[in-house]
Amino acid sequence: MLEVLDNIPVTLEPETVMKRLRVRGREAQMEEMARELIDIALPVARPRAVYAVSPINHRTDNTVDIDGVRLTSRVLRINLDKVNRVFAYVATCGREMHELTVPSTDVLKAYCLDIIKMMVLGSAMTYLTKYIDNRYRPGQMSHMNPGSLADWPLTQQKELFSILGDVEAAIGVTLTDGMAMVPTKSTSGIYFATEIRFESCQLCPNEGCIGRRAPYDPDLAKQYQTTTT
């Protein structure tokens, strides 16, 4: 069943924004800029999320059918071997935040606003995770996102969205022809219960990735390549 979460609280503090900026020097100027942008952002910040509790219908070596929709990913299939349901989701900073802009010539202010939009998206994800945990008590959860690994490419966004239905009507998120999301500060994926926490980063050798959440684990990557049903 599809459920929309749109009454999501947002907290933005200048100190937190400045930590995310990681810009040394001119602290007073940076704090003033952060406060100015927070004052603009808070009145329009309306993050949203949508999710569905979806059954797993069928599995093969490299595919898993979720609520009648086939997803192609060996890693995802292996991760879902011991569960019978998942939580498909999309979360966003919201159209209102997406449409908030500053002059493109002011690179630092544009970067600061981008950080704030990411923090608003983070509020949506934190709220969604706690909501699922409190309502369904799945235990420890991990998640996977289309495009985070070559094994589950971004082109699978279309299938993921079809599990949820009309995501645009629900929370205003659309897909481009290249399967990128608009608003750009949006994220999609599948939460699932797991005994051992999983991060896609563990299977990705790109050590220079700024979004890395866990170190690359070549032994674990080899296990996923050799595991069979």
39-84 pLDDT tens trace = 999 999 999 999 999 999 999 999 999 999 999 999 999 999 989 9
Which domains can be identified in the chain, with CATH numbers?
Answer: 2-10+47-96+118-198 (3.10.196.10)
pTM over 0.75: yes
Higher pLDDT, 120 or 28: 120
Higher pLDDT, 169 or 228: 169
- At 223 the pLDDT is 76
SS3 call for 66: strand
d(CA 64, CA 71): 5
| Tokens linked to 142 | 């991990």
Residue 175 has, within 13 A of its CA and on its CB side, a CA count of 19
- Exposed e or buried b for every residue in 181-217, given b needs 16+ CB within 10 A? bebebbbbbbbbbbeeebbbbbbbeeeeeeeeeeeeb
Residue 160 near residue 186, CB atoms below 8 Å: no
196-216 pLDDT tens trace = 777 677 776 776 665 656 777
Alpha helix (H) ranges present in the chain? 14-21, 27-41, 74-79, 95-98, 107-136, 157-164, 167-171, 218-226
pLDDT at residue 136 tops 90: yes
